Amino acid sequence: MSNATPVRRRLLLGAFGDPGHAFPMIALGRALAARGHDVTLQTWKRWREHVEAEGLGFAPAPEYEVFPSGGAGSPSLDFYEAVVHASADTVPLVRELRPDVVVADILTLAPALAAEIEGVPWATLIPHVHPHGEPDFPIYSLGARLARTAAGRSMWRLAQRPVHRGLERGRRELNETRERLGLAPHAHVHGGISRQLALVATFPQLEYPRRGGGSGSNRWGPDTHVVGPLMWEPPARDIELPDGDMPLVLVAPSTAQDSEHRLLLAALRGLADAPVRLLATWNRRLPPRPLPVPDNARLVDWVSYSRTMPHCDLVVCHAGHGTLVRALACGCAVVACPAIGDMNENAARLDWAGAGVRLPRRYLSPRRLRLAVEMALGDPAIRARAREMAGWARANDAGMASSRLVEGLAARTGAPGLRA
């Protein structure tokens, strides 16, 4: 790609406020702003201070309760009913900003639909592995690895049939929503993913090989690009690492799952007398009971992953995508103990890529966790693979690649850009 100074653009980004979706979008916004673009990010109010600190404009995203909580307050909305309201609320923002391109998170449909209503080109940011695979891929989020035999691939083709029925139902429901907004129906599933530009913000080493559409080992269509992980985190203070020169193991549980701290407790107990230094965090979610802290461990309330993981040899986590790719980008082997859904998928991809060890939740215990840590630290191939992926991340700037692709979409669609 050319290194010429890009035409300055006005861009609108949109992501709902879950960290796994808001943080990659903040990273993208920061990269675009660094290239001189006028960037506004629409997300939840809780991130306003951080968004503005990165030099981005902030717009509050509509926040609706979509699923019943059982508590007092306003009634919940059906998901697509909430999408209709949020899209209508976002159209005035698009009209006011008149952006050259809108980039929407894969689960944040309102900015994309508002862009369509106003005739603005739009792109999708997928902040994890691509959810739509080949017909013989394992069912997404089930946690199964890619089949190695013809019989296995045949089994998955059969197993995918009910999934396809579910996708068709989703297409019909989205088309009903589009009709209410005055938009034409889609003939394809996964209508929330742009066919103008889709940015897949993960390691290509975590994507199963595809057979059609493009060139290279991952054969994507011409408008889908695996750009590498887009990473951002809120500012945090430095913490003191445990003393010594033994391997440093970081226990980094999910901030949203495992309210009983099963993973943290298993690590503190299982690695208590292991020949490692243990740094563990409870991520500002108070444990329901006091946790045992062995002599080789330090327990803290919060850790900056970007500043701590470069010092670590191994990361134990639930395999949330942000934590997983941060560990791999720092060259750490990973022990993944998935808690739910997409974490199962991430752990399977890690295992398939050879950069870590997967320990399913049903098998989690102090003894088994220790065995998994010993396996990951003791296997030179796993540690070498993690270092290889870190090298890839250093050589491939995901923010730069994503920015150039967004700029290319604006240029292809004839957007005039901003005057100097």
**pLDDT for res 3:** 58
Q: How confident is the model at residue 72 (pLDDT cuts 50, 70, 90)?
A: very low
**pLDDT for res 179:** 96
**pLDDT for res 157:** 94
pLDDT of 14-37, one tens digit each?
999 999 999 999 999 999 999 999
Query: Would you call 347 helix, strand, or coil by DSSP?
Result: helix
Sign of the CA dihedral with 49 first, then 22, 357, and 341 last: positive
Q: Is the pLDDT of residue 133 over 70?
A: yes
Q: Is the pLDDT of residue 213 over 80?
A: no
Write the single-letter amino acid at 236.
A
Q: Is the pLDDT of residue 70 over 70?
A: no
The alpha carbon of 359 is separated from its chain's Cα centroid by a whole number of angstroms, namely: 21
Q: How confident is the model at residue 163 (pLDDT cuts 50, 70, 90)?
A: very high
**pLDDT for res 58:** 98
Q: Is the pLDDT of residue 53 over 70?
A: yes
- Rounded Cα distance between 330 and 314, Å, is 10
β-pair partners for 297 = 278
Q: Is the pLDDT of residue 319 over 50?
A: yes
Name the least confident of 46-60, 89-103, 230-244.
230-244
Residues 6+ apart with CB under 8 A from 157: 135, 136
Over range 131-159, report the average pLDDT: 93
**pLDDT for res 258:** 79
- Rounded Cα distance between 397 and 417, Å, is 24
**pLDDT for res 420:** 52
Over range 379-390, report the average pLDDT: 98
**pLDDT for res 66:** 59
Q: How confident is the model at residue 4 (pLDDT cuts 50, 70, 90)?
A: low
**pLDDT for res 237:** 87
Residues 6+ apart with CB under 8 A from 152: none
